[in-house]
Amino acid sequence: SNQDIPIRFVKLEQDRLLVDGTVTTLDSVTKLFDGTSEQMALISLGQNVTSQQLIDLLTALKGVAHLRTQVIG
């Protein structure tokens, strides 16, 4: 069921990216997900984040197996 899926908190800010409170980069973000089990990434957007930054993040995360993403604003 959905309740059993681990939730990862991703915060996209204009000048930094955090996963579960750990600062990372777009190039390294996929290394923080193991890709072997179902996970949900809840993506919150900071002020002044551009749609291109969000697209870039979603494109990077699309490469992670078994990862669902949801943008929560």
Query: Tens of pLDDT along 57-67?
Result: 999 999 999 99
- 32 neighbors 60 (Cβ within 8 angstroms): no
pTM assigned to the model: 0.90
Q: Please state the φ and ψ torsions of residue 8, each to the nearest 5 degrees.
A: -110, 135
Q: Which two tokens stand for residue 72?
A: 């929560």
Q: Are 15 and 47 in contact (CB under 8 A)?
A: no
Degrees to nearest 5, angle at CA 23 with 67 and 36: 25
Which tens digits make up the pLDDT trace of 26-48? 999 999 998 999 999 999 999 99
Count of beta carbons in the 10 Å neighbourhood of residue 46: 14
